[in-house]
Structure 1
């Protein structure tokens, strides 16, 4: 049990998800074998739905790892979509490049190497969708830059926001994770209370927060 939902609920939801494509299954198996963290299957399916509905042309991803979610998003986004993804670990980048090249997506996915916040500060483009999946204790630091880079009707999808249930329950918090939990609570507090934003927190996978700008209705 992940601490987010009851185990029987998780298992039932997973049973409803069809087998991944050969491309994703191969990368998924590599990740499990080599203990590389990638998005959970429920989260992957959620991204597929959001991308199919939104059809974003420009996507920004924080946290490339081995390219699993970049490739997933490329498959379901706008046909001419471009993805910019940020990763600091050179070993992860090398593996991601192999996967991206192997599946013919080099022209659609660009990896930027470096500290996530520093890279964010140097970006100028606007994005239709931003997927946060890096530096779990720094989402609140990434947010101002992400909002600067987000198109007016863009969406921010943040993964792992309930962090194994610890964010919602003090009894689950492990001492060495206190800082991450406090900062993730801060992130959720900011996006939930900002009157210019509207956020929904979904207890799926390891917790997903979906944020967009609130439409101002003239009185």
Structure 2
């Protein structure tokens, strides 16, 4: 079941400029193009074409081999990242929606990239902790926006120094700038948690960060040195870690 996301209709830049970015930049081809077209027609929330174009420019420069994705959806972004990255790249991707998982598996099979994908089903908060590595080149986080704050410490931990984390949809149609009282009650948790997240990462000495106004705001973070972000973990997770130690 696909939940409607009204932010898809709230561009953070001039609408005519947005449409230009989506139609005038190099288009996809083949089966990946078909998946993108079908998703757009059915209002499945995949990354918009301006973000596709950015990834297709950026990832060949970064040349990541080890990629982690939080939020598989129908597998479109995972497949795109594999196509744009190092020929030996592998994606570990996490999804909690069973319907999305079915579509993702189907698309990975159609694209003949099943051997390059590890698909984990469940809650990202639990599964991220099972990825025992600090050698990840690139992390793409495109999941529950209210959870970005909670997920960040594990994403940061698994990145190698010099690794990059991309976080999607951080501007919330521009509403990120509004007062809490002006945000609809159903979206206030997202609003508060995103603002808390941005207040930590945008000016932290261990990070280089910038927000690119493509899609609904793409936050790019480079890990410059190790740091302790455990204060961002949910309280239950901190207690569990303490007990293990």
TM-score relative to the length of structure 2: 0.83
Summarize the alignment of residues 13-32 of structure 1 with structure 2, pairs less than 5 Å apart. 13-32=21-40
Closer, same or farther in 2 for the Cα pair 1:172/1:160, shift >3 Å? Answer: farther
Greater shift after overlay, 183-192 or 26-35? 26-35
**Where does residue 200 of structure 2 map in the other structure?**
190
- What is the deviation of 1:215? 6.6
For the residue of structure 2 that corresponds to 1:195, the secondary structure is: coil
Q: Is the 8 A contact 1:165 1:172 kept in 2?
A: no
**Where does residue 148 of structure 1 map in the other structure?**
157
What is the CA deviation profile of residues 61-110 of structure 1, one whole-angstrom value per residue up to 9, with x for unaligned ones? 00000000011001010000010000011111111001001111001111
**Where does residue 69 of structure 2 map in the other structure?**
61
Closer, same or farther in 2 for the Cα pair 1:145/1:39, shift >3 Å? Answer: same
What is the CA deviation profile of residues 130-164 of structure 1, one whole-angstrom value per residue up to 9, with x for unaligned ones? 00001111101011001110011100000001011
**Where does residue 92 of structure 1 map in the other structure?**
100
- What is the deviation of 1:172? 7.2
Unaligned runs of 5+ in 1: none
- What is the deviation of 1:193? 2.5
**Where does residue 239 of structure 2 map in the other structure?**
none
- Equivalent residue in structure 2 for 1:174, among 184, 191, 199: 184
Compute the RMSD of aligned alpha carbons.
Answer: 1.7
- What is the deviation of 1:196? 1.0
Mapped to 2, the partners of 1:3 and 1:97 lie a distance apart of 30
Q: Is the 8 A contact 2:161 2:224 kept in 1?
A: no
What is the CA deviation profile of residues 19-49 of structure 1, one whole-angstrom value per residue up to 9, with x for unaligned ones? 2212222112222343321001111111111
Greater shift after overlay, 127-136 or 19-28? 19-28
**Where does residue 170 of structure 2 map in the other structure?**
161
Summarize the alignment of residues 28-107 of structure 1 with structure 2, pairs less than 5 Å apart. 28-107=36-115
- What is the deviation of 1:194? 1.5
TM-score relative to the length of structure 1: 0.93
Mapped to 1, the partners of 2:220 and 2:172 lie a distance apart of 15
**Where does residue 15 of structure 2 map in the other structure?**
7
- What is the deviation of 1:3? 3.9
Mapped to 2, the partners of 1:68 and 1:173 lie a distance apart of 31
Closer, same or farther in 2 for the Cα pair 1:13/1:33, shift >3 Å? Answer: closer
Mapped to 1, the partners of 2:225 and 2:155 lie a distance apart of 18
Closer, same or farther in 2 for the Cα pair 1:85/1:168, shift >3 Å? Answer: same
